[in-house]
Amino acid sequence: MAATIELPDVIREAASESSPRLDPGYVVICWDDPVNLMEFVTHVFQQVFGWKKEKAEFHMLQVHKNGKSVLVRETLERAEFYVHQLQKYQLHATMEPGE
């Protein structure tokens, strides 16, 4: 004869009408400049972000063609870190609140 196992009841919370807003963080932007070569910018992106060459080239081309590229969305502290790292390589980088 098999023993019966009783499972606990599942209690579901009522869905709230508004979900909490996630922190949009900060975006790190690299701007075009007339000084740095495209190969150098690609190299810097690889060094700072640890990206593969293809991803670094993609963002470098955005900077070159569009005048800027949004590189990452991060916390305030991490975005500041990345901006400072890019500026150490003489790239024009800024950050702003994400939307």
- Cβ(57)–Cβ(82) below 8 Å: no
Measure Cα distances from 64 to 17, 34, 67, 93 in Å: 44, 10, 6, 14
What's the confidence (pLDDT) of residue 19? Answer: 46
User: Taking the model in full, what pTM does it have?
Assistant: 0.76
pLDDT digits (tens, 9 = 90+) for 16-67: 454 455 667 999 999 999 899 999 999 999 999 999 999 999 999 999 999 9
What domains appear along the chain, each with residue ranges and CATH number?
26-97 (3.30.1390.10)
